[in-house]
Amino acid sequence: MYLVTVLGNLLIILAVSSNPHLHTPMYFFLSSLSLADIGFTSTIVPNMLVNIQTQSKSISFAGCLTQVSFSFLFGCLDSLLLTVMAYDRLVAICHPLQYVAIMNPHLCGLLVLVSFLISLLDSQIHCLMVSQLSFCTHVEIPHFFCDVPQLLRLACSDTSTNTILIDFIGAIFGGVPVSGILYSYTRIISSVLRVASSGGKSKAFSTCGSHLSVVCLFYGTGLGVYLSSAASSSPRESAAASVMYTMVTPMLNPFIYSLRNRDLKGALQWIISRVA
């Protein structure tokens, strides 16, 4: 699954960079999303594979902090890039004549840069909070990576303030992107429904279908993991649910975009034929 995730997302980045017809804002954001997916799954899965191979499940405190930092960095970046892509589709469908002027290369680069800086801030806040916790001598994390809620449960110090702060930060860094995506697609759907021709409606929905599928998969699995962790007291069930969020979603994203997008499918077929 890890190899499929990395190779699939690398193929998307290669297809977008090598095909001049794909040098558009939509595919620029898509390649950025693929890069974030590679970083997110590479933060967690390789260490887990080493643990399975060596039967050694230990991780240093510095390594745990590093994993917390990068997992929140790429996870938050995924969320913000999906929001940016929803805004891109909003401009393309609701303001088609002004699309080129609005979504210029300067704005696209700025949106990705701001998304990265916000994600970096989010990751450093969580890393700083975890670094302030005190743990007992022997700590066993009932998970396959350093998950912050699990670390809070294992801390020997008082974590009530940390829990409130994490919930508040999660509401901001998670709630704002979700609200932006919902607003964008509300505007898109209302605009598409006003289109008279059925062909125009189908074309508009097809351009948004891949992105909407990934949004539902990303937030659906994330919400499922959160709800299952809150409802279930079993660490094993929580860890099993987290596999969907950390491994399955990044693996399926390339398939969803390549299967539902004719231009991207053609670029991938051209690359594969050149290699073969």
Please check whether residue 116 lies inside any domain of the structure. yes
The candidate with the shortest Cα–Cα distance to 67, out of 126, 24, 23, 152, is 126
Average pLDDT, rounded, for the chain: 84
Note the pLDDT of residue 38: 95
pLDDT classification of 152: cutoffs 50, 70, 90: confident
Query: What's 142's DSSP letter?
Result: S
- pLDDT at position 35 is 95
Separation CA 245–CA 218 (nearest Å): 7
Residue 82 lies in a domain: yes
Q: How confident is the model at residue 2 (pLDDT cuts 50, 70, 90)?
A: very high
Domain count, the chain: 1
Q: Is 140 part of a structural domain of the chain? A: no
Inform me whether the pLDDT recorded for 127 exceeds 70.
Answer: yes
Contact, 63 vs 161, CB < 8 A? no
Averaging pLDDT over each range in 182-186, 194-198, 214-218, 267-271, which range is the top one? 182-186
The answer to whether position 230 is within a domain reads yes
Element of type H or E holding 126: helix 105-131
Phi-psi region of 139 (alpha: psi -120 to 50; beta: other; left: phi over 0): beta
Q: Is the per-residue pLDDT at 276 higher than 90? A: no
- Domain contains 137: no
Q: What CATH number is given to the structural domain containing 232?
A: 1.20.1070.10
Is the CB of residue 88 less than 8 Å from the CB of residue 26?
yes
User: Is the model's pLDDT at 41 over the cut of 90?
Assistant: yes
Domain membership of residue 43 (yes or no) is yes
Instruction: Give the chain's end-to-end CA distance (angstroms, integer).
Output: 23
For residue 196, the model assigns a pLDDT of: 56
Domain that holds residue 40: 2-132+145-151+159-275
Does residue 138 sit within a domain?
A: no
Task: Tell me whether residue 117 is in a domain.
Answer: yes
Better-scored residue on pLDDT, 137 or 62: 62
